[in-house]
Structures are given as structure tokens and as C-alpha cells.
A and B are shown apart, each in its own frame.
Chain A
């Protein structure tokens, strides 16, 4: 049971990957991509947690802190993720205006 965090992160990663490759709707694919990205946040932050510790803000009352290094990396990852989502959504909007649909198979037929 001590690996439950990893298993949930792997489940989320597989679910995000399944949505990305199995569904044809472009908007849903983008949501699946963002779920895949957020499962990676769990993979980084779950090992950094120490039970009985506190947030990594140094103060005189606490002596055990959770690891600050994954937090820094994931802060960057979150912002990059929303940047990717915004660009993907702009492309979906332009595809809709050009082809009239956002279903993948209909776009491939029309091309």
C-alpha cells in the first residue's frame, strides 16, 4: 500500500494516454493531454513528501521539511502545461474555421 501514490499516477497517465489516442474529438484530446501532464506532477511530488514534515518554508518551530526541489520543477511544468494548452486550443479554433469540424476522421476525409 505504500506505493499507492505511484499506482494512481500511473493510472492517470494511462487514462490520459487512452483519451489522447482513442478519442477523435480534438478538444477532448487536448484535455487528455493535460491529464497526462498533470499525472507527472504526482510522480514528482509524492516521493518528496515526509510524513510529519511541513511545507518547505524554514521557521524556528519545525525541524522536518518536505523536499523543496520537486516543487520548483513542477511549478515550471504547470505553467508550461497551460502555455501548451493555450496554443493547442488556438490551433483547434483555426482548424474549426478551416474545415468546419473538429472530429479527426471527418477532417482527414475532407483534406
Chain B
């Protein structure tokens, strides 16, 4: 597919905007529809789109296997870590009120980190699933 000039040009133009849209959805999820899940899936879809047009090797150069596997696990650890931080600062597990001096700011901080963890795991898993299915038949 990388011989087709229309697909090549459009993929190179559109893919950065898809990634930017994913970041926008992640951070704007407090004020409009969005949040961690949607942002993670859109980010993974951007890399999948690039890999479909330019080949799996080019996609793996953009998002290497070790990075994707690290993202998978880091998201869950981040989420659980926010809970442990609540424990360490004197509240219950996953208590956001104690994360800052002002309870509402503590909630905001907790929600931010938790959504970041969710986005990391979801994008890592979707990308890893694509790599596993697409890389199977070629013996690589």
C-alpha cells in the first residue's frame, strides 16, 4: 500500500492530527465527552493506521515492542500507585481527598493520574493486540 501516493500522503498528513486529537480527548475529558479509554484507543488507532499503510516494520519503528509492553504494565501500576499514595498520606485506599491540602484539588489530581494510567494501559493493549495478529502469519 505504500506505493499508492494518495494513501501515503494522506497517512503522513492525518496521523499526527489523530495523535493530537487523542491527547485532546484525554485532557478535555473533564469538560466534555472523553477520558482515558477513548484517548487510549484513538492513540492506538493512529499507530495502527500508519502501520497498515506503511507496513508493520515501519509501525514497529514508531512504537517499539518493548515500549508497548512497558506501557501495558505501567498503566495498571500507575493506577494502583495512586491508591497506595492515598494510603500513605493517611486516608483509605484510592482516597483522593488526602492527595492535596484542598480536597477538591486533591480529587482533580487523583482523577488526572488515574485517567493517565487508564489511557496508558488501553493504548498499550490495543497496539499489542494489533502487533500480535498482524505479525503472526509472517513468522516474525
Number of B residues contacting the other chain (C-beta, 8 Å)? 10
CB-based contact A93/B129 at 8 Å = no
CB-based contact B33/A55 at 8 Å = yes
Q: In terms of DSSP, what is the predominant structure of the interface of chain A? A: helix
- Per a CB cutoff under 8 Å, which of B31, B37, B125, B136 touches A57? B31
In the docked arrangement, what's the CA distance between A110 and B133, Å? 26
Q: From residue A87, how far is it (CB to closest CB) to chain B in Å? A: 10
Interface 0/1 of B17-40, CB less than 8 Å to A: 000000000000001110001000
- Counting CB contacts under 8 A, is A60 at the interface? no
CB-based contact B132/A90 at 8 Å = yes
- Per a CB cutoff under 8 Å, which of B32, B37, B125, B129 touches A75? B37
Residue among A55, A57, A86, A90 with most chain B CB within 10 A: A86
- Counting CB contacts under 8 A, is A21 at the interface? no
Interface size bracket, A side: under 10
- Counting CB contacts under 8 A, is B122 at the interface? yes
Interface 0/1 of A85-99, CB less than 8 Å to B: 010011001000000
- Counting CB contacts under 8 A, is A79 at the interface? yes
Contacts of B136 in A (CB 8 A): 93
Interface 0/1 of B113-140, CB less than 8 Å to A: 0000000001001000100110010000
CB-based contact B32/A79 at 8 Å = no
Tell me which residues from 58 to 96 in chain B have a Cβ below 8 Å from any Cβ of chain A. none
Contacts of A90 in B (CB 8 A): 132-133
12 new A-B contacts at CB < 8 Å, known A79-B37, A83-B125: A55-B33, A57-B31, A57-B32, A57-B33, A75-B37, A79-B122, A86-B129, A89-B133, A90-B132, A90-B133, A93-B133, A93-B136
